[in-house]
Structure 1
């Protein structure tokens, strides 16, 4: 059940990121530079949060993997 919710959240976040990118470019080409700047800022903030979260998850995975390998014998 938790895996299904996580998958749905990932799809929703990906759709939001695509919509923000499209909105940013469309508003920039139409001349609404402030709106484009805001949309792009939100997109960068989301991407930064996802990257930070992935880095933490990778560190935890590597730490537990090394810990299990070292304590096997």
Structure 2
């Protein structure tokens, strides 16, 4: 059940990121530069959060894997 919620959350975030990218480019080409800047800033903030979260998850995985391998009994 938890995996299904995680998958839906990932799909929703991907759709939001694509919509923000499209909105940024469309508003930039129409001349609304401030709106494009705001949309692109939100997109970068989401991407930064996802990247830092993935890095933390990788570190935790490696730490638990090494700890599990070092405790033999």
TM-score of the superposition, structure 1-length normalised? 0.97
CA displacement at 1:26 relative to structure 2: 0.5
Match of 1:65 in 2: 65
CA displacement at 1:72 relative to structure 2: 2.1
Give unmatched runs, 5+ long, in structure 1: none
CA displacement at 1:60 relative to structure 2: 0.2
CA displacement at 1:30 relative to structure 2: 0.6
* 1:17-73 CA-partner distances (Å, limit 9, x unpaired): 000000000100110000000000000000000001101100000000011111126
Q: How many residue pairs were aligned?
A: 73
Match of 1:46 in 2: 46
Give unmatched runs, 5+ long, in structure 2: none
Mapped partners of 2:29, 2:23: distance in 1:
10
What is the root-mean-square deviation in Å for CA atoms of aligned residues? 0.8
Match of 1:6 in 2: 6
Alignment of 1:17-36 (within 5 A): 17-36=17-36
